[in-house]
Structure 1
Amino acid sequence: MTKDMALRVVPRPMRKQVEEGLRDAIMTGRFAPGQHLPDRLLCELFGASRSVVREAVRLLEAEGLVTTYPNRGPFVSFLSPAEAEQVYEVRGVLEALAGEGFAQRASAGERAELRRVLEALAALPPRGADQAALLALKREFYEVLMRGCRNPLVARMFETIINRNAQLRATSLSDPGRLSGTVAELRRVVEAIEARDAAGAWQACRDHVRSAAEVALRILREHERAARATG
């Protein structure tokens, strides 16, 4: 490879930029569950053509983040409490496998990186933390965990389920007291990993997901009851 080739920057296709931008907007809660995603809005937001926007929407529909209704168009998918419970069940097993693998196979540098992200989370104010910064740190924590577990299959499956879980994570973290619980639970994960306690890391990961599920499902059920009462 020549020096010029090594320095060359390959631009991302517009469709990929729109796909990633729309996914991020849904995952961070900028587009709320049930919100309509008309072509015109997305074209203006991303500066892309209608064909590019529609292709990106189709890809996110395959991930379950978008639902398209005949004669109505695409909407941000809304997870029912029953669907959310299923997502958390799958996530719990995958996250536990990753925690176990990380404890067994991660490098010293990866362990230090996981600790660094944990302490950055712990440094956020327990109430009123910037939601985008909080969600970015959670994503970074899982990126390190999946890389260090040395199981590409688990990492690929987790990427799919965590996209579906993104709205739920934003829901659970919207609870005023949830951040402190999240930090305490992830601290248990990191401490088990640092002790190379694979079984402890597995259990700590399962406990973390169960706690997040309890909060998110409570909020979703409250919303469901409120919607029925006003429907």
Structure 2
Amino acid sequence: MNEMNLRIPRQAATLRLLVEDRIREAIASGHFRPGQRLVERELCEQIGVGRTSVREALRQLEAEGLVVTVPHRGPEVSSITFDEARQLYEVRALLEGFAGRAFAEQGSDAAIRDLKEAVAGFKQAARNGDRAQLVAAKTRFYSVLMEGAGNIFVKQSLTMLHNRITLLRFTSMTQQGRLDDSVAEIEAIHDAIAARDGARAEQACRHHIAMAAKVALAVLEREPRRG
């Protein structure tokens, strides 16, 4: 596994958010694996911040479901079961399908341009093959998609689901052939939205989630059960 530089510049006003983002990114990219202990002292050394900032960040990530505190062990990266993942993907498909339709039918031209740029960013990240860049680009795509839908409650719900799916996203994208398929699928989402075709956009979003779920659930099914 390639070493990941976790250090961040010191900016007091946003330090806690930066620490959260850096740990979240490390989890999403597979640098920290499900079940791995997150030792505060080690995180302080890796990121280059004080223990207070790390503790606050870990509390937020625990609220998001990415971290869990285990008695006598302390914080560790959350694991996700097969059934939890299946249920997450089912709900996500419904909400993202709605978001795709709403974006196509009601989104602004400026938002569609932003979506095109986000797709281009993901394609470039796929060509580069950089873990952190891939996760950041996919996160950007979903952020634009949710914003373009114009429904704050769908956005809030999807943000919560995406935080949990973070535990699986890099796993699914790195399976053989999946990345090329993922690029094609999000291009199809953009094309449907740009054409203002709500039904096609909804179907494209649901198809993308179904394919991601198929790959991620197959990986989970092969892994030994924890606990």
Please indicate the TM-score interval, normalised by the length of the shorter structure: 0.7 to 0.9
- 2:37 alignment partner, SS class: coil
CA-CA distance at 1:75 after TM superposition: 0.7
Which residue of structure 1 aligns with residue 53 of structure 2? Answer: 52
Residue number in structure 2 paired with 1:180:
180
Which shows bigger deviation, 114-123 or 98-107? Answer: 114-123
The residue correspondences of 1:139-178 to structure 2 (distance < 5 A) are 139-178=139-178
Give runs of aligned pairs for residues 126-137 of structure 1, distance below 5 A.
Answer: 129-137=129-137
1:1-231 aligned at under 5 Å gives the runs 11-123=12-124, 129-224=129-224
Name the TM-score, length of structure 1 as normaliser: 0.86
User: Residues 52-88 of structure 1: CA distance to partner in whole angstroms, max 9, x if unpaired?
Assistant: 3222212211111011111111110111111111111
Q: For 1:74, give the aligned amino acid.
A: P
Structure-2-length-normalised TM-score: 0.87
Note if contact 2:100-2:201 (Cα within 8 Å) is conserved in structure 1: yes
Mapped to 2, the partners of 1:54 and 1:120 lie a distance apart of 33
The one-letter code sitting in structure 2 at the alignment partner of 1:185 is E
Q: Distance in 2 between matches of 1:155 and 1:99?
A: 12
**112-121 or 98-107, which deviates more:** 112-121
Q: 2:223 is paired with a residue of what secondary structure?
A: helix
Stretches (4+) displaced over 6 A: none
Question: Cα deviation per residue 1:155-211 (whole Å; 9 max; x = unaligned)?
Answer: 111111111111211110010200111122112211211221111111110111010
User: Mean alpha-carbon deviation: is it higher for 183-192 or for 95-104?
Assistant: 183-192
From the superposition, tell whether residues 67 and 98 of structure 1 become closer, same or farther in structure 2 (CA, over 3 Å).
same
Q: Which amino acid aligns with 2:93?
A: G
Gaps of 5+ in 1: 1-9
Q: Which residue of 2 aligns with 1:6?
A: none
Q: SS of the residue aligned with 1:12? A: helix
Aligned CA distance change for structure 1 residues 215 and 47 (closer, same or farther; 3 Å): same
* Residue aligned with 2:175, SS: coil
Structure-2 separation of matches of 1:97 and 1:213: 18
TM superposition shift of 1:116: 2.7
Ranges in structure 2 where 5+ consecutive residues have no aligned partner: 1-10
The answer as to whether partners of 1:27 and 1:163 remain within 8 angstroms in 2 is no
In structure 2, the residue corresponding to 1:32 is in which secondary structure? coil
- Aligned pair in 2 of structure 1 residues 194, 221: CA closer, same or farther (>3 Å)? same
Percent sequence identity is: 45
Provide the C-alpha distance between the structure 2 equivalents of 1:51 and 1:125, rounded to a whole number of angstroms.
36
Query: Of the two, which has the highest radius of gyration?
Result: 1
User: 1:61·1:67 contact (CA, 8 Å) conserved in 2?
Assistant: yes
User: Residues 54 and 171 (structure 1 numbering): CA distance in 2 closer, same or farther, change over 3 Å?
Assistant: same
Residue matched to 2:4:
none
C-alpha deviation, 1:50, in angstroms: 2.6
Is the 8 Å Cα contact of residues 115 and 190 (structure 2) preserved in structure 1? Answer: yes
Distance across 1 between alignment mates of 2:104 and 2:151? 12
In the alignment, the residues of structure 2 paired with residue 18 and residue 171 of structure 1 have an alpha-carbon distance, to the nearest angstrom, of: 23
